[in-house]
Amino acid sequence: MPPINLLDQPDVRRKLDQCIHCGLCLPACPTYSILNTEMDSPRGRIALMRASADGRIGLDGAFQTHIELCLGCRACETACPSGVQYGTLLEIARTALAREQPRFPALRPTNGSHASSSPASAPGAVAARVLQWAGLTQLMPHRRRLRVLARGLWLYQRLGVSGLVRRLLPHLPPVLATMEAMVPRVDLRYVDESRPAPAVGSRRGKVAFFTGCVQDAFLAGVNAATVRVLQRNGYEVHFPQSQTCCGAAALHSGESDFARDLARRNIDAFAGGDFTAVINNAGGCGATLKEYAHLLKDDPRYADRAQGFVAMVKDINEFLAANLHHPPRGRLQARVTYVDSCHLRHGQKVVQQPRALLTAIPGLELVELRQPDMCCGSAGIYNLLQPELANQVLDNKLADVESTRATIIATANTGCYMQMVYGVQRSGLNATVMHVVELLDRAYANAH
Ligand code: SF4
Ligand code: SF4
């Protein structure tokens, strides 16, 4: 039996047909603005999907090239007057690609079993695929392994080995060189998760904290600040132990079955706690957590539970903007610009809330970017897979940041945080990168 063409399904065709070819999304698209080719615009990519659905083109060649070059930032979705669900279409296209050219045979959350990567021609492509496989299956779903890696990197950074490795960078495969340059200064100040963190003052509710995978292991200070700010606003914070990676990286790589497995594990992990909300502090993770109902809509055991879970998921900015019972009183005299996370802005439509929180800090001056809706080039692991284009997108963002003369760059997503740290090093900008909750946390501390 011939394989099913995922793009040639009635509901997918309905979604494709919503595109009226108006082109209003083109100016919002970072890849189109740099490459200036129709096939690297949302309209062009939708045309490729339609051509594949019709059987006029295969999933290799132009289809693969231009679908892989898409950042998945979903700025086109916000710009589209016709309601095209581009993010959903992209996921379907990437799933079709992954099934046609499996990178990772029998991809499943594992506890140590190994799979081999598929053959690829160039050594750089092999390295990228092996790293992608290792990251998705052997690290991201396993918090302990990630923390071991984080401790190793912490030592590597503190022992000064990085200077030697940087001299070797021109000889390393590009994906390894990019990874080395992008690793932020590892922060190991882990929260004690063995018991709930109590509310400070009168208790207003109990929330569960989705700690994330990379965020949890490498940027522990952001999670610690998140917990303290929730506590200060009267929330008891719980840490369900069996939670795992949200599945965003798997989903963006077209590994939707694997992402569904992770979604089921998270729904089980957060069940039965009678929580006011499931809080996360990374825009990319939150957007995926909120997609669980869609991901599991055909799963008879999990469809209803997924809807209940999604109803509880809140980004920290979204939650605090509505529940800032004790605004910070300490001053933080700083000029700050805010770099939107695409998945928070375009995916979750959380736009004003982080700005409201920042302007609630006494002394803080918020300066808007000229193009706040443009991606920074992080886009999950895009900056590792497409470093050249990602760097061009990043340079545009850095020029915008520089024009604000801000000394602090606020973000609300792990990938953006790391990308901006890398960008600051790359450009020599005199700026510090902080999560919105770290700024709030510092303002609270300044009151004492
Ligand atoms: S998701 Fe972003 S990069 Fe991809 S087509 Fe839409 S605007 Fe362009
Ligand atoms: S704005 Fe929407 S309808 Fe117009 S070309 Fe872009 S995706 Fe199609």
Domain contains 82? yes
Domains: count for the chain: 3
Average pLDDT taken over every residue of the chain: 89
Cβ pair 238, 196 in contact under 8 A: yes
Q: Whose C-alpha lies nearest to ligand 2, atom 8?
A: 19
CA 197/CA 19 separation, integer angstroms: 48
- Choice from 38, 74, 77, 80 to test ligand 2 binding pocket (greatest atom count within 8 A of CB): 80
Domain contains 282? no
- Whichever domain contains 397, its CATH number is 3.40.50
Ligand 2 atom with the smallest distance to the CA of 26 is 6
Which of 31-45, 129-143, 324-338 is predicted least confidently? 129-143
* Ligand 2 neighbours by CB, cut-off 6 Å: 19-25, 42-43, 46, 76, 79-80, 82, 84
Ligand 1 atom with the smallest distance to the CA of 342 is 2
**90 and 165 within one domain:** no
Q: Quick one: pLDDT at residue 113? A: 34
**128 and 30 within one domain:** no
- pTM > 0.85: yes or no: yes
For residue 18, report the distance from its CA to the centre of ligand 2, in Å: 8
Amino acid letter for position 35: L
Cβ pair 255, 295 in contact under 8 A: no
pLDDT in tens, 385-435: 788 899 999 999 999 999 999 999 999 999 999 999 999 988 999 999 999
**442 and 363 within one domain:** yes
Domain contains 294? no
Q: Give me the residues paired with residue 209 across strands.
A: 279
Find the largest Cα–Cα distance for the chain.
Answer: 70
Ligand approaching nearest to the C-alpha of 43: 2
Tokens of 284: 């990319």
Q: Give me the residues paired with residue 215 across strands.
A: none
Residue found by looking up tokens 């296209």 in the block: 93
CA 346/CA 358 separation, integer angstroms: 20
Q: Pick from 36, 67, 100: which residue ends a domain?
A: 100
Ligand approaching nearest to the C-alpha of 29: 1
pLDDT in tens, 100-111: 776 554 443 433
Domain contains 304? no
Q: How many residues does the chain have?
A: 448
Ligand approaching nearest to the C-alpha of 67: 1
Q: Which helix (H) or strand (E) holds 435?
A: strand 432-435
**74 and 21 within one domain:** yes
Q: Quick one: pLDDT at residue 173? A: 66
For residue 377, report the distance from its CA to the centre of ligand 2, in Å: 22
For residue 25, report the distance from its CA to the centre of ligand 1, in Å: 9
Domain contains 96? yes
Encode 303-348 in three state secondary structure.
HHHHHHHHHHEEEHHHHHHHCCCCCCCCCCCEEEEECCCHHHHHHC
pLDDT in tens, 152-207: 888 888 887 776 676 666 666 666 777 777 777 888 889 999 999 999 999 999 99
Q: Whose C-alpha lies nearest to ligand 2, atom 1?
A: 80
Chain Cα centroid distance, residue 45: 22
Residue 229, burial from CB neighbour count under 10 angstroms (0-12, 13-18, 19+): buried
CA 386/CA 392 separation, integer angstroms: 10
Domain contains 345? yes
- Whichever domain contains 22, its CATH number is 1.10.1060.10
For residue 44, report the distance from its CA to the centre of ligand 2, in Å: 10
Alpha carbon distances (Å) from 385 to 60, 69, 94, 186, 239: 17, 9, 14, 22, 33
Our answer on whether the CB atom of 332 is closer than 6 Å to any ligand 1 atom is no
Ligand approaching nearest to the C-alpha of 25: 2
CA 88/CA 288 separation, integer angstroms: 11
Our answer on whether the CB atom of 30 is closer than 6 Å to any ligand 1 atom is yes
**436 and 358 within one domain:** yes
Q: Place 120 in a pLDDT band, splitting at 50, 70 and 90.
A: very low
**81 and 14 within one domain:** yes
Domain contains 393? yes
Q: Pick from 153, 182, 211: which residue ends a domain?
A: 182
Q: Whose C-alpha lies nearest to ligand 1, atom 5?
A: 42
For residue 59, report the distance from its CA to the centre of ligand 1, in Å: 19
**140 and 58 within one domain:** no
**152 and 52 within one domain:** no
Domain contains 312? no
Q: Which domain holds residue 21?
A: 10-100
CA 162/CA 181 separation, integer angstroms: 9
**335 and 442 within one domain:** yes
Ligand approaching nearest to the C-alpha of 23: 2
**68 and 154 within one domain:** no
Alpha carbon distances (Å) from 339 to 170, 241, 360, 411, 415: 30, 31, 17, 5, 11
**131 and 73 within one domain:** no
User: What percentage of the chain exceeds 90 in pLDDT?
Assistant: 68
Ligand 2 atom with the smallest distance to the CA of 20 is 3
